[in-house]
Amino acid sequence: MCGIVAYIGPREAYPIILKGLKRLEYRGYDSSGVALLNKDLRVYKKKGKVSELEDSLVGKDLHAHAGMGHTRWATHGEPNDRNAHPHHSASGRLAMIHNGIIENYTQLKQELMRKGYHFNSDTDTEVLLNFIEDIQKNNNCGLEEAVRIALRRVVGAYVIVLLDKDMPDTVIAARKGSPLVIGIGKGEHFLASDASPIIEYTKEVVYVNDYELAILKADELILKNLGNEKITPFVQKLDLEMAAIEKGGYDHFMLKEIFEQPDTIFDCLRGRLDATKGTIRMAGIQQNIQQLTQAKRIIMIACGTSWHAGLIAEYIFEELCRIPVEVEYASEFRYRNPVIHPGDVIIAISQSGETADTIVAIEKAKESGAFILGVVNVVGSSIARISHAGAYTHAGPEIGVASTKAFTAQLAVLTMIALKIAHEKGTIDTTRYMQLLGELHSVPEKVKEVLKLSESIRGLAQKYKDAKDALYLGRGYNFAVALEGALKLKEISYIHAEGYPAAEMKHGPIALVDEQLPVVFVATKDSYHEKIVSNIQEIKARKGRVIAVISHGDSIIENMAEDCMRIPETDEIIAPMLSVIPLQLLAYYIGAVKGYDVDKPRNLAKSVTVE
């Protein structure tokens, strides 16, 4: 859950690395650091944000044509200067940065301490680095071979990048379980955790696979496996523009990404859905349609916001496809002994495609004979490569830590998959099928209407910013929207919030209701409408402060609620793509008005690439 960037070539390395760290800061921001290799190996690091590192380096010798940088989200050892990366080896000859967790670092550390090694940090990274140096010293081998030997012994996940003072023309990197991409320039190479630091310089990239070692010089890239066999790099073209990773005049990436949703949903549907002809074209689905239509069971595996998308999709798939669906937290699924049968379909949902728990969960299911379908945003990501088939969401880079546009894009993709399967199976009649295609096609325009609520929701944020707690309630398709709304408020404003099925509040949460508690109802017009009206009356009777997301023209709830956020009327299956957006805006504006860094909420990182 850290950001890594490195460079080797004719340019000055430090400005490239610094800019890359700023673009990767959403991946980790407890501390940051750089290592620069010229005639000597200089390491500078600092607790706090990248700007604090930058300020501390004014007047320092930063000249180098090879270097690397790191933004850290702490796993081993608290955030401070000495635990920040890069780390020096005991001799000072090597420096290393690392993303991941070395699970057997305690055992390795004890072995090294018995040999007389002392450690300057609390990190597993420094242990691994000294283990590599110890192997090199005792086996009289080169750094490349020492890395290979060490990684055969290591248990855990890692991306490591190393510089050697005695090899000023070389950068060495390796990967298992965490993302790493190499950018190929003219007489230069770039390394990063994702493409955002690279896109300014080149669109030609190589995604490094697990158990691969990269040896980089300015004019040469060598890929090898841990058996020392050379691998031909697979060069891909980035489909990414600079504007996608810049704020574009918005105060925060999160607000920009909320407002991008008409375009991102349109891009998700474009070329796939033709509402006039009644067709859905998704190559990964069509090529495996028999596997999907004949599935006895679908299991959706995800974490966080993606899990909420899975919960909504569960209702959609069961309603339209008549296939039993289970939705699992990947972090729980991977440690259970689940019953998986050959022919079960596992749908893995992840924005980054690098979520560690989800990757391990689908690898486990794959071994049991399940068919793996990936729904991810990042092209070339681990889940995309592990899956048998899948669909990209085409939401573009999501920089804000709290997911917004990725969520609605996931819903759009999952809805199209469900409609495709249902149509092929004949579990939905033509009239209903065409109606839903039309409703889905109209979502981007309706999202534009919802976004017009922005200023009024900013006013609500001022009104409710001092709340200590909040309760979010919904039923049916909107139940998981309530969960997502509560999660957003927690992430961005640090207000304690709980999401619940509206009918379940009588089984406990209603005890919290008083004159101070905001209760947010996701109450669009659907088959649950009368029931949720009753739930609102129960809150009103206990003097709770009701805020409601409602459909246009709903005078019943409008007359009951203290505040309303109105969205265009649509089918209940499609409604979550609209009803979630006012909740995203509410969380954003409350966090912003409280003065928080909404793009980088405390203790959170964008891509959870470790357990």
Domains annotated for the chain, with CATH where assigned, are: 3-243 (3.60.20.10), 247-441 (3.40.50.10490), 454-611 (3.40.50.10490)
Q: Which residue out of 2, 268, 321, 564 is catalytically annotated?
A: 2
pLDDT tens per residue, range 280-310: 999 999 999 999 999 999 999 999 999 999 9
Question: Two tokens at 596?
Answer: 């928080």
Residue 446 CB-half CA count within 13 A: 24
CB 332 within 8 A of CB 304: no
- pLDDT > 70 in the chain, percent: 97
pLDDT score of 23? 86
CB 84 within 8 A of CB 98: no
DSSP state of 217: E
Cβ-Cβ contacts under 8 Å for 332 (sequence gap 6 or more): none
Whether residue 458 is predicted with pLDDT greater than 60 in this model: the reply is yes
Which contacts qualify for 269-274: CB closer than 8 Å, 24 or more apart? Answer: 269/412, 269/416, 269/440, 269/441, 269/443, 269/444, 270/394, 272/416, 273/416, 273/437, 273/440, 273/441, 274/437
Angstrom distance (rounded) from CA 389 to CA 371: 8
Angstrom distance (rounded) from CA 239 to CA 236: 9
Helix or strand (DSSP H, E) at 279: strand 279-280
For 11, counting Cβ atoms within 10 Å of its Cβ (0-12 exposed, 13-18 middle, 19+ buried), the class is: middle
Whether residue 263 is predicted with pLDDT greater than 70 in this model: the reply is yes
pLDDT score of 17? 96
Radius of gyration of the chain (CA): 25
Q: Is 2 a catalytic residue?
A: yes
How does strand 66-72 pair with strand 371-376? Answer: unpaired
Is the pTM above the cut of 0.75?
Answer: yes
3-class SS at 55? helix
Mean pLDDT calculated for residue range 589-593: 96
Angstrom distance (rounded) from CA 472 to CA 535: 12
CB 468 within 8 A of CB 496: yes
Nearest alpha-carbon partner for 63 in 32, 4, 17, 96: 17
Whether residue 541 is predicted with pLDDT greater than 90 in this model: the reply is no
CB 295 within 8 A of CB 346: no
Angstrom distance (rounded) from CA 218 to CA 362: 37
pLDDT score of 285? 95
3-class SS at 450? helix
Nearest alpha-carbon partner for 607 in 335, 383, 313: 383
